[in-house]
Structures are given as C-alpha cells and as structure tokens.
C-alpha cells in the first residue's frame, strides 16, 4: 500500500486518480480548500482534508505531508489574477516541495503542462503569461530539489475516455484525456523509471506502462 497525498483533491484529474489508487489498495488523502467538496472526494475513494495551501506555511504543510509515501501536486489557481496564480502555482507549490523534504517524503509528482519551460514563449500581454511563468519556475525548483521527482507535461486536456495508451515521445502538444492523465500519474507512483524525469505526453498508441518504463 502506498499512502498518497493529492494536493488539489477536487480537481477533475484528481477525482479520476483517487479511485484508481483506491482500487489497487493505496490510501488516498485529498487536500481540498472547500469543505463542500468533501463528499465528492469520499465518493471517489479519497479521505478529504480541508487545508488552505495558499495561506498555510511550510511547517503546517510538512505536518500534513508527514506519514505519506508520495505527494501529487494537481492544484492550480485556475486563472484569474496574476498575483493569485503566482501565490498558488509557484509559491504554494514550492512550499509543498520544501515541506515534503522537511517531512522526509521524497516521492513527488508534479502535474505541469506540455510546454512548461523557462522558454515558454508566452508574451507578457497574454493572459496565460502569469501561469506559464509560475509553472516554469515551480518545475525548475522541483528539478533542483533533493526529491525523487517526476514532472508530467500533459497536452491539452479533454474529456475523452481513458484508453490506457499515450504518446510519450511527442515533439508537439496535442490532446490527452484527463482519464489517461490520471492513469499516467498512477503508473508513475509505481514505476521507478519515471523518477527524475520530465514526461510530456499526448493520447497515443503505446500502453502507458510501456511508455513510462524507459
């Protein structure tokens, strides 16, 4: 059994991930901000914990993370003000990484996006710029950390079915279902070959376990 803490536990991907993990016997803690979302999390097989990642400090985060085997960051500000995007997608994410190290929880899976990079190319006047900056900086902090990290770069997310097949060699962003993204996260947690790798992927033809194995 793996004890997994999902940050952003009421997100669409997280609610698809929780039942996959629960079905294989993992223990899922789902971090949510809104208590009204607790029933949805329980229905998906997770244990809801109300915690404001935007405002709580590193020490509180370390206490929350302690006792788990892995952290999955699937949270985000969801657009809006650049200040809040930076507060959640960069500052809170970085606090969670540092807190995981403090708690001795080395495994950390970051759900980023396909084109995340310091060279993302999004102009400052574009409303996506703040998010692109925040994700690039957070991903770089994770890569420089002592954690056993994986940065996942799914392409444009869709509501398509979970085929269990992806293209992890794609040079350009296309589309990938949220269901397949959840399957990829779940496989990363049991596949040591994904540690210290950045994996960008679209929907494709290769079975996920095979695509992530090397």
Q: Could you state, in order of their start, the residue ranges of all structural domains in the chain? A: 3-212
pLDDT at 110: 98
86-92 own/partner pairs: CB under 8 Å, 24+ apart: 86/130, 86/133, 86/134, 87/54, 88/53, 88/54, 88/134, 89/131, 89/134, 89/135, 89/138, 90/133, 90/134, 90/135, 90/137, 90/138, 92/53, 92/54
Q: Is residue 45 within 8 Å of residue 23, measured between CB atoms?
A: yes
Q: Among 3.40.50.2300, 3.40.228.10, 3.40.50.720, 3.40.718.10, what is the CATH number of 3-212? A: 3.40.50.720
The closest of 205, 185, 210 to 4, measured between CA atoms, is: 185
Work out whether the CA dihedral 133, 170, 148, 182 comes out positive or negative.
positive
**What is the pLDDT tens value at each position of the chain, 214 positions in all?**
999 999 999 999 999 999 999 999 999 999 999 999 999 999 999 999 999 999 999 999 999 999 999 999 999 987 779 999 999 999 999 999 999 999 999 999 999 999 999 999 999 999 999 999 999 999 999 999 999 999 999 999 999 999 999 999 999 999 999 999 999 999 999 999 999 999 999 999 999 999 999 7
- Residue closest to 155 by CA, chosen among 139, 169, 143, 172: 172
Task: Identify the pLDDT of residue 77.
Answer: 82
Q: What is the CA radius of gyration of the chain?
A: 16
The pLDDT score that the predictor gives to residue 78 is 79
What pLDDT is recorded for position 80? 76
- Say how far apart CA 107 and CA 29 lie, in whole Å: 15
pLDDT for the residue 79: 74
């Amino acid at each position: 059994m793996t004890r997994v803490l999902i940050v952003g536990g009421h997100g669409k991907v997280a609610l698809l991930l929780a039942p996959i993990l629960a079905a294989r016997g993992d223990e899922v803690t789902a971090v949510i901000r809104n208590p009204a979302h607790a029933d949805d999390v329980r229905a998906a097989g997770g244990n809801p914990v109300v915690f404001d990642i935007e405002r709580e400090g590193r020490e509180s985060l370390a206490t929350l993370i302690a006792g788990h085997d892995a952290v999955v960051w699937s949270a985000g500000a969801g657009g809006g003000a650049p200040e809040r995007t930076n507060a959640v997608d960069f500052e809170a994410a970085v606090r969670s990484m540092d807190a995981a190290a403090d708690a001795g929880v080395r495994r950390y899976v970051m759900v980023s996006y396909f084109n995340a990079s310091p060279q993302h190319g999004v102009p400052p006047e574009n409303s996506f710029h703040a998010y692109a900056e925040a994700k690039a900086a957070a991903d770089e902090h994770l890569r420089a950390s002592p954690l056993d990290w994986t940065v996942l770069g799914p392409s444009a997310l869709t509501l398509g079915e979970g085929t269990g097949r992806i293209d992890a060699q794609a040079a350009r962003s296309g589309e990938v279902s949220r269901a397949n993204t959840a399957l990829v996260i779940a496989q990363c947690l049991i596949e040591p070959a994904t540690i210290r790798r950045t994996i960008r992927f679209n929907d494709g033809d290769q079975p996920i376990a095979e695509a992530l194995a090397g």
